[in-house]
Amino acid sequence: MEDFCVRYKSQYKKAKETLDILQKQRNQIDFNLQSNASCAILHKELRDINLDIRITENEMEHAESVIIRHNQNSVI
């Protein structure tokens, strides 16, 4: 059962690292949009990166909830 928790902790850690990278990419896109606000390619990249960020946040929330449930069940 400990492997189970370790796996989700690892998944959470990887998702957090991915989220940090995605946020840096989004910041760069936002910066590029300041100088070229009408660029359709940048707007598409921004939509895509925002979707990736939301998916990664959901993965983190799921892993966190599994870890919390596992810790509550192991206490009982």
Contact of 46 with 26, CB cutoff 8 Å: yes
Q: Smallest Cα–Cα separation from 28: which of 48, 18, 42, 41? A: 42
Please give the pLDDT value at position 48: 98
- Predicted structure pTM score: 0.87
Q: Is the pLDDT of residue 29 over 80?
A: yes
**Model confidence at 76: pLDDT above 60:** no
